[in-house]
Structure 1
Amino acid sequence: MGYRNLAQCVADLERAGHLVRLDEPVDARLEAAEIHRRVQASGGPAILFTRVRDNRFTMVSNLFGTLERGRFLFRDRLEAVRRAIELKIDPMAALKRPFRYLGAARTAWSMRPKRVRSAPILRGNCRVRDLPYLQSWPMDGGPFVTLPQVYTESPSKPGWSGSNLGMYRIQLQGNDYLPDTEIGLHYQLHRGIGVHHREALLRNEPLRVAVWVGGTPAMTLSAVMPLPEGLSELTFAGALAGHRIPMVDSGAGLPVYAEADFAIVGTVMPGQTKPEGPFGDHLGYYSLTHPFPVMRVDKVLHRPDAIWPFTVVGRPPQEDTTFGQLIHELTGPIIPTV
């Protein structure tokens, strides 16, 4: 379904019996993650945590916990996306089977991000410490953002066409990070954001970074999608969501996703690293503490009805296993041929 934001998604899942509310107080440190693990392991529903101890925001987890639910989230859009990519591979297919591609023009239009002047994400400001401090495992180095959408633009080619949207874990607190001022980014220099970072280093320039949390599930899935070179995550998200992705000026040097629930905007300075980790990782072991880029936080924005989505990684199978199954179902027959 073409959700505009996360609140629409949560309401739809609840109506369909794919989500339950947990109204008892829950601690974001360890307790929420353990509840998630038990529900996910049993093939249970998404969980809306309405009372997070010492925090004013609600949290939701297990959105992609089963392949059935993943299919449900994109039930109206999967075939349209497949057809649009078929046309990219073979434009003559529209002449051979015109009725199959009647909606292709609309899908193509939805792939163009659009700039808006006002947005829900600009209506609230807070500090890093006001965010839900989710800690998944006892030896984690601090709280982490586990479903981030990390946005950067090419320093040599600014703008959406040269942008990258990826899912790279974010450490919000702990180690040597200055409270409310610095957060840790975990990525490699050969990955999408790393390419932009390397460009910035060669130019001796800071790299502007925006971390978005929430919004339509199409944005979350696009951030982990193995897309071919030249296909922007923002354009793919538009096709998957069925509408143009709205972007708004953050006032801090980068646009932000207008329908995100949260946005952290800041700067990675040339050559600056700090210890990041440990973190209970995908294979069931802790990744140890190592130096990684540190981001200086300029702004933390949130929408009025903000919901903090999270997942928990660890020894497979976890929710990210279903992520992989869904990605293969979406792109398996398509991406290798593009």
Structure 2
Amino acid sequence: MRADRLISILLLLQNRGKLTTKELAYELEVNPRTIHRDMDALSSAGFPVIADRGTSGGWRLLESYKTNLTGLKGEEIKSLFLLPSVQLLKDLGISEDWFAAREKLLASLPASSHGKAQDVWDRIHIDTSSWRQSPEKVTAFTILKESLWQNKKLHIHYERADGERRERTVSPLGLVAKSSTWYFIAGVDQDIRTYRASRILSAQLTEQTFERPADFNLAAVWEQSSQQFIQSLPAYQVEAELSSSILSRIRFTGRFVQQIQIEDPLPNGWIPASFCFDTEEEAAQYILGFGRQIRIVSPKRLKDIIYTSAKSLVEMLENDS
């Protein structure tokens, strides 16, 4: 609703001081033209919205203005009391602070709102951990956290995915949790890099200071980095036909599968499907595990690889008997 969006704009400007049209559009998930129309509406209604021009420009409120539109709605109260991942809070060392802040926030609300908060705790719980994955140990996590607030460059020793060890001086910009895995975002020269925090073997603060980029937005940088990573992943496409007997479990066994697309059954009862794997080897291991319940249509080379693997397995079993 537009009225809610106008209130959100006022609160964003009051809390953050100055925001560009692009930043407001990103926060409110609308296009920049909508923001310009909203600003015209706020100005016409008498709100002191000021547009600063130039490279460091943006929208702001007159310094003396404070809005009183801070009453919380029922759904807003519920959203504030959603419990984030307890493990991630512990990683950051703020779990006790978070629970204390929650109790203070609850105490500040009218008694009629207390039940809404309790409803959230009783009905919704967020757990970002996986079923089998063990939490990664991040040796330098304490210094990584501290470095983000000091605007001092950090000298790190890290291990690449291929096992090669390197060292580098970086400008700390942010920490991001993906599921239960932490990533460290840092500036290197004129570039922004992403490091898996568990691969940073050691870190040491330097006395060299730096200035954070004025337009740096951690969420936007992570989104862009994630998309680039996904697009860079290798893709090995397989066309196959499935037995109906495995249809109910085919989506839950794909440790290596990026994507599965299933079509309508053929007249002979077999079901066409498209698989996408990272590598040929992973495709062979996955499909071989289903035995005679998956027929490979293409590529032909994969058929030969699976045939050779199955033949070798049979020979080994015969020799062991």
TM interval, shorter chain, is under 0.3
TM-score (norm 2): 0.25
Structure with the bigger RCO (C-alpha within 8 Å, sep 6+) is 1
Q: Which has the larger radius of gyration?
A: 2
Give the structure with the higher percent helix. 2
